[in-house]
Chains A and B, each alone.
Chain A
Amino acid sequence: MDLEQILKYAPLLLEGLKVTIIISTAGILLSIVTGAVLVAMQRSGIRPLAVIVRIYTEIILGIPILVLLYVIYFVLPDIGLRLSELAAGLLTLTLYYSPYMAEIMRGAIDAIPSGQLEAARSVGMSRLQAARRITVPQALGLIIPPLTGISIGLVKDSAILSIISVHEFAFETKQVVARTYAPFEFWTFAAICYWTILFVWENGMRSLERRVTRYREAR
């Protein structure tokens, strides 16, 4: 691998890496929020809302993310909604990953027996106290491992946004390849970068999980 060339194009690649990190972080946060809305709709007790969530989830699970990206990028302008590449990309990641996030939250909520909350209330804890001391600490331990997996998927899928020219890492790599014609070297380099970031992320989340589940050992 030609190290000199990589160093030469490092600033451009770094710029792309920054966009990848920003758009992934935004995508993770937005899909968590949207996922929470989906859970709330499903648990609202209003039938039509629950049905809408189910249909939406089925559709998303059934189509490839690239098709969703094209629908947002090509079909929405037909009905008068023209988004920038970045906005279309972020919307795609959010819409695609929110059902997965909803599933994680649903699982965590269901795993905590309602009796615990009732017990906490009956020993005189306020709602907020019960949430802070009983629900959240347990839910975090249940949410972090699947959240890590899903968020890794999201970061990897953010590379797909290069297809509609979002200036993220894969896009900048493609630009550099077009200029240097050293595709194998630069794509391998890109793979190493993604792998390193996700390795750090995965291990960080694992130690975070160990921290928030310390209560399990204290029993």
Chain B
Amino acid sequence: MFNLDLFYESVPILASAAIVTVELTVCSVILSLLFGTISVMLQLSKIPGGYWLSRTYVSIMRGTPLLVQLFVVFFGLPLLGIKGQAFLAAAVAIGLNSGAYTTEILRAAVQNVPEGQIEAARAMGMSTRQIWFRVILPQAFVVSLPALTSEFTIVLKSTPLASVVAVTELTYAGVVIQARAFSAVEIFLPIAVGYVLIALSFTQVSRWLERRFRLLHT
């Protein structure tokens, strides 16, 4: 029942598609951190309308399916003059979506930075921007590393949706082979294992980061 030839034949193709999955995940994670940071700063600094803007962003991203967001971004980018960029659209959509969750994670961490530190920084003459980038955010990122890691494994698990806008990542590559070979176990088993392995390596990177920063902070 298990066709070994098909298995050997499909693994190299799947491996190269897995690289696309990793690239998409990394790009989405970077965008998610960017959007999350901007959004949390809007929400907690005293910029007029910032709080409202950030809450609306979070509410929209958490209240609509990623699939729908992908289509909105994919068909919305051409209206901004960016055409035929499926990978970019997917990374932006997943990044925007995850950014809402990153906002919530960072918000909890930012609010945990002791008030005294901020007062001390101000007393030393630091500007608001300096306080954000040198006092609040570095600590917030370190504290939220575990939560961010689990958020980014969710990002990894949402990348297969990029196939709806024709990004050939791991899952979609599998569907293409499957449609040709009329056999599925040999293809979907390595795919499932592939996701678990990628997720495990992300967790390892995060553990390493955690150790590194814990060392710096004690």
Name A residues whose Cβ lies closer than 8 Å to a Cβ of B.
Answer: 59, 62-67, 70-71, 74-75, 77-78, 152, 155-160, 162-163, 170, 173, 183-184, 187-188, 190-191, 194-195, 198-199, 202
Q: With an 8 A cutoff between CB atoms, is B185 at the interface?
A: yes
Q: Are B171 and A187 in contact (CB under 8 A)?
A: no
Cα–Cα, bound, A63→B170 (Å) = 12
Q: Are A67 and B68 in contact (CB under 8 A)?
A: no
Cα–Cα, bound, A152→B196 (Å) = 25
Nearest-CB residue, chain A, relative to B70:
A187
Nearest-CB residue, chain A, relative to B156:
A64
Name B residues whose Cβ lies closer than 8 Å to a Cβ of A.
Answer: 1, 59-60, 62-69, 71-72, 75-76, 79, 156-161, 163-164, 171, 174-175, 178, 183-185, 188, 191-192, 195-196, 199
Q: Are B157 and A63 in contact (CB under 8 A)?
A: yes
Q: Could you say which residues of chain B place their CB within 8 Å of the CB of A202? A: 63
User: How many contacts A-B (CB < 8 Å)?
Assistant: 100
Cα–Cα, bound, A155→B79 (Å) = 29
Q: Are B76 and A191 in contact (CB under 8 A)?
A: no
Q: Could you say which residues of chain B place their CB within 8 Å of the CB of A71? A: 184, 188, 192
Q: Are B60 and A75 in contact (CB under 8 A)?
A: no
Nearest-CB residue, chain A, relative to B179:
A74
Which of B65, B185, B196 interacts with A159 by CB under 8 Å? B65
A56 shortest CB reach to chain B, Å: 13
Question: What are 7 A-B pairs at a CB distance below 8 A?
Answer: A67-B160, A74-B175, A77-B184, A158-B65, A188-B72, A194-B65, A198-B64
Q: Could you say which residues of chain A place their CB within 8 Å of the CB of B175? A: 70, 74
Take A64-B157, A66-B171 as given contacts and tell me if A194 and B63 are in contact as well, using a CB distance cutoff of 8 Å: yes
Q: Are A78 and B63 in contact (CB under 8 A)?
A: no
Q: Are B185 and A78 in contact (CB under 8 A)?
A: yes
Q: Could you say which residues of chain A place their CB within 8 Å of the CB of B192? A: 59, 62-63, 67, 71
Q: Are B63 and A198 in contact (CB under 8 A)?
A: yes
Q: Are B62 and A152 in contact (CB under 8 A)?
A: yes
A177 shortest CB reach to chain B, Å: 8
Q: Are B65 and A64 in contact (CB under 8 A)?
A: no
Q: Are B157 and A195 in contact (CB under 8 A)?
A: no
Q: Are B64 and A156 in contact (CB under 8 A)?
A: yes
